[in-house]
Structure 1
């Protein structure tokens, strides 16, 4: 498999796929993946997260002249359920042109995606420690979050102090804008989510279609309607999962083992 990356993702992807499915991953270089978009907003990403992952995989396959490729893409934002913490969603796409299939591994989890605008070094130091610095890298720029003068990959205290003074001196408001560096090689929390997405991909690839034996037989839809344990009314909780083949389209509906949903999940008992 061709893996296009310049941020160290091969360190988690390669051993996981080798141990689970016996796959040999070939790291591909020679293309600046930042051209497809950066988390620091200096280069916007065009298209969706999965489209960006597909494009990376295709570029890697072309450079390596291989019919098999994979690539990952991450996204960051507020937790969609409570909005109380930052969430990292990772997708890793597997493209096999010999079989004509695409399989996607997905994982998500809490992350340290945050920022601070300050002219005070003590506040900057407190922020850095709270985000896990120096194990987790930081990005610094003057004035505000979109200033084009940017320093990335800061991973030691002396460099942070020097860069902080530089940013404050360059800014007309005297402030430095600090944010977590969420590139994979600078962010161990993100690396763990990438590892989880890779395990999800491997699990799907180890599940063959019962009709054509193609890897990637997976859940594509959840069927709601699990009855409430109290009143028996159908709830929004899943009662079954629909599995489908990525190649022939063979589909199976599998009932879940749960027989009833908690009353707290019922729109009638807990409106």
Structure 2
């Protein structure tokens, strides 16, 4: 199927007009989610509070997350739907680690999952990018100041604990210089080795870099929701696999560059291969014949 036919299925109308959609969060994510989804879907994001989502896993490591990122998002969505007594819910889950190419850059991957029990479907959106997620031991106030300035403080909040990165005595959400100096003095005083461990707070409301990546994941979710299956009309007709094989500009052999996407319906068995940019040649750098 050609791309034009796929794009033609992206209806501007919404299956979710007037629908309340549960969104469970303690960390201010409902604002950016609503800003992206409500105008186009004409739905209503219902902020669900009253549940400590850190119990499902905390970035400060005292409570490990169980299962995969999407499984954690599914649990959050289900809890929010149950609390709000709604058949439709959205949840967000983030992860941090090294970048997938060089393994040297702090990286953030965000997942946004919509569950629609009326239609018995799940649709996800993803975004990833450079993270503000550093951590460092500090032995004096000058090192604390140096780290904080490099971490984008105070826009990005900080977390401090004595001695090392696994010490359970944690102070989160440090958001101004006065509090930072006070917490440093208190934490250093109870440190057995004279050090404190300082790290960036990764909760969304405390980390604007992460919040922007969450917004991009919401944009991707919206795009997937607007893409209807040409066969059954369900939303969520989106890429599930990348297909290599862009022909080399020099020799014409298949390169490792992405040639097309495999799109699949979340409800029926319909699939389609969509060329990304027909006629474009691949870089010989990624050709096994030209660059063995």
Name the TM-score class by shorter chain. over 0.9
Q: Distance in 2 between matches of 1:192 and 1:106?
A: 12
Aligned partner of 2:124 in structure 1 is: 104
Aligned partner of 2:112 in structure 1 is: 92
Q: Distance in 2 between matches of 1:10 and 1:67?
A: 18
Q: Distance in 2 between matches of 1:239 and 1:187?
A: 36
Q: C-alpha offsets along residues 36-64 of structure 1, whole Å, 9 cap, x if unaligned?
A: 00000011111111100000000000001
CA RMSD of aligned residues (A): 0.9
Aligned partner of 2:141 in structure 1 is: 121
- SS of the residue corresponding to residue 122 of structure 2 reads strand
Of residues 191, 202, 207, the one that matches 2:222 is: 202
- TM-score, length-scaled by structure 1: 0.98
Aligned partner of 1:136 in structure 2 is: 156
Counting matched residue pairs gives 271
Of residues 246, 259, 265, the one that matches 2:286 is: 265
Aligned partner of 1:232 in structure 2 is: 252
- SS of the residue corresponding to residue 220 of structure 1 reads strand
Aligned partner of 2:96 in structure 1 is: 76
Q: C-alpha offsets along residues 105-125 of structure 1, whole Å, 9 cap, x if unaligned?
A: 100011111011011111110
Q: Distance in 2 between matches of 1:258 and 1:266?
A: 18
1:7 is displaced (CA, Å) by 0.5
- SS of the residue corresponding to residue 67 of structure 2 reads coil
Of residues 215, 221, 233, the one that matches 2:241 is: 221
Aligned partner of 1:47 in structure 2 is: 67
1:256 is displaced (CA, Å) by 2.7
1:258 is displaced (CA, Å) by 4.2
- SS of the residue corresponding to residue 25 of structure 1 reads strand
Q: Distance in 2 between matches of 1:117 and 1:133?
A: 16
Q: Distance in 1 between matches of 2:153 and 2:124?
A: 31
Q: Which runs of 5+ in 2 are unaligned?
A: 1-20
Q: Distance in 1 between matches of 2:258 and 2:192?
A: 55
Q: Which runs of 5+ in 1 are unaligned?
A: none
1:267 is displaced (CA, Å) by 2.1
Of residues 185, 193, 209, the one that matches 1:165 is: 185
Q: Distance in 2 between matches of 1:186 and 1:210?
A: 41
Of residues 181, 184, 187, the one that matches 2:201 is: 181
Of residues 208, 212, 215, the one that matches 1:192 is: 212
Q: C-alpha offsets along residues 73-132 of structure 1, whole Å, 9 cap, x if unaligned?
A: 000011120122101000000000000100001000111110110111111101101111
Cα pair 2:255 2:283 within 8 Å, conserved: no
